[in-house]
Amino acid sequence: MPEIPVTALHNYLAKINRLDWLSYSEVAAGPQNDPTWTIECKINGTVRGTGIAKKKNAAKEAAAKEALQALRSGML
């Protein structure tokens, strides 16, 4: 079963007792009936992942995936 980035990131931070570091910001741009979502995933106040997609959930997953990769590669 493929990894779900939002869940994996949440679990990773929970394991190290740092869930308080996780936050997201979101912006919808374009027409109301067809917005493009930009979501930033922040770890300890710093943007570590950005996702842009037509679907809000897809943008959040993309942002979480980038942030999780940064955590796992030791970029924090």
- The Cα 72–Cα 55 span in angstroms is 26
Q: How confident is the model at residue 5 (pLDDT cuts 50, 70, 90)?
A: very high
Q: Which amino acid, 72?
A: R
The full set of domain ranges for the chain reads: 5-72
Question: What average pLDDT does this structure show over 35-63?
Answer: 98
Q: Which two structure tokens, joined as six digits, stand for 52?
A: 């842009």
pLDDT at 76: 61
Of the candidate CATH numbers 3.40.50.10490, 3.30.160.20, 3.40.50.1000, 3.10.20.590, the domain formed by 5-72 belongs to 3.30.160.20
Question: What average pLDDT does this structure show over 32-55?
Answer: 98
pTM of the predicted structure, to 2 decimals: 0.92
pLDDT at 1: 77
Question: What average pLDDT does this structure show over 38-50?
Answer: 98
